[in-house]
Amino acid sequence: MTDIPAAARAGLAALVLADPDLAGIEQASGPLPWRTRPQGFTGLLQAIVAQQISNQAAAAIWRRLAATPGALTPTGLLGLDDDSFRLAGLSRPKVAHARALAEAFASGQLASAALDLMSDEEAIAAITAVRGMGRWTAEVYLLFAHQRMDVFPAGDIALAGAAAALKQLPERPGPVQLRALAGLWHPHRSLAARLLWHHWRFLTGRPAMDDLPLA
């Protein structure tokens, strides 16, 4: 966890002026933590591990995978056998997705420097072209690893729950409704997501997306 960059703090100030509902989150929950993830293969591999499981389970699997020799480099991961992945706790589909990701980086299909030159949607399209990499995974990666300021993982359940509580909605919004709601927070939707995850931790006492430990 690092200090909040000056540009992000300025964005947060603009965001809470645009939507006063967001202004009370840090007052109630404490200062917003600024979490980042590694760029490149490691950061996206971490996102694969976190797909569709609790953060507690993802953290445990990640610790085991990170301790497996070679697992955090594309060529090293491609050299692992199925037993290594099984012992780390990865499901069979996630093993296939991890290998597809490693092949994409090893071949040059994906590269952090190239993603940096793309717009948000171009970068999302490049990432989701790899097997097993959905939009949620791409958005979470760009938000934390590349610190993009205007991506919003509308498929995230914790964000939906936090938004429903914050806006006093009768039920959790679905991804389409949540993405429409997030339009209010443009061009700082990533910052709004960080605030909502922070709010979710405060409301539930459970870890949110950004609590998955770093490599």
pLDDT for the residue numbered 214: 43
139 shares its domain with 50:
yes
DSSP assignment of 47-110 equals HHHHTTS-HHHHHHHHHHHHTSTTTTSHHHHHT--HHHHHHHT--HHHHHHHHHHHHHHHHTSS
Last residue of a domain, one of 144, 166, 196: 144
CB 42 within 8 A of CB 72: yes
Q: What is the mean pLDDT of residues 118-124?
A: 98
CA-nearest of 203, 84, 89, 209 to 145 is 209
49 shares its domain with 117:
yes
175 shares its domain with 195:
yes
pLDDT for the residue numbered 75: 97
pLDDT for the residue numbered 3: 82
66 shares its domain with 121:
yes
- Which has the minimum average pLDDT: 1-10, 56-65, 117-126? 1-10
160 shares its domain with 130:
no
Q: Mean pLDDT over all residues of the chain? A: 92
Q: pLDDT exceeding 70 applies to what percent of the chain?
A: 95
Residue type, 182: A
- Cα-to-chain-centroid distance, residue 137: 6
Number of independent structural domains in the chain:
2
User: 215 pLDDT band (50/70/90 cuts)?
Assistant: very low
Q: What is the mean pLDDT of residues 142-149?
A: 95
pLDDT for the residue numbered 209: 57
CA-nearest of 91, 103, 156 to 129 is 103
**How far is the C-alpha of 126 from the C-alpha of 32, rounded, in Å?**
30
118 shares its domain with 48:
yes
What is the CATH number for 160? Answer: 1.10.1670.40
What is the residue range of 47's domain?
Answer: 41-144
48 shares its domain with 28:
no
pLDDT for the residue numbered 207: 65
